[in-house]
Homo-oligomer: A and B are copies of this chain.
């Protein structure tokens, strides 16, 4: 909403900065330079300064950045004051791993409902997250606008349509399927097989000792 001039590449790095600032703060560090931050998050220091500068002059020349101030700034920028509820569809191997992981530690994100088609899973819960039948999506999904998709790829398209109908406008898709969505819906793909394969490709085809 606010000012949508933040480059996408920058926006993707914000959570990373936020996490490291949190670490620093917990360690009691009071100030940090773009150079230090750069070494920690492996992003060029000029890029970090540029990223920060989109939000105004957050640092002080010759000093660096005040950890607490910066942390507070990003906390509100990333809406960390309110918990974001997320639904998970497909409580299989991958889905279960996510359900057992607490994203709440550093990020105010919580998976509050899971859905599956397997009758033996429906009605149970995993680490406190209840598993509903996927047919109950319509009744149970209200208010939730982000979903994690970990169903078999053959089901991805059909489930996506349901999700979108129920008002979901952000999907984190772990299936290999490239799903079709209306323009107002944002999909991030995480394709493990592709990641692995492209890593192997890079190793075999790129010079070994310079990036």
Please state if B107 and A100 are interface contacts (CB–CB under 8 Å): no
**Assembly stoichiometry (copies):** 2
Within 8 A of B (CB), among A182-207: 183-184, 186, 188, 190-207
Task: Tell me how many residues of A have a C-beta within 8 Å of chain B.
Answer: 65
Contacts of A106 in B (CB 8 A): 176, 193
Query: Smallest distance from the beta carbon of A143 to chain B beta carbons, Å?
Result: 14
User: Please, what's the 1-or-0 string for A61-81, where 1 marks a CB less than 8 Å from any CB in chain B?
Assistant: 000000000000000001100
CB <8 Å contact, A194 and B12: yes
Contacts of A209 in B (CB 8 A): 183-184
A40 at the interface (CB under 8 A from B): yes
Closest Cβ of chain B to A125, distance in Å, is 16
A–B pairs, 26, beta carbons within 8 Å: A4-B205, A4-B207, A11-B198, A11-B202, A11-B205, A14-B198, A14-B201, A15-B193, A16-B191, A41-B178, A42-B180, A78-B200, A79-B201, A97-B97, A98-B192, A103-B192, A107-B193, A109-B200, A146-B203, A183-B209, A183-B211, A186-B199, A186-B206, A188-B195, A188-B199, A190-B195
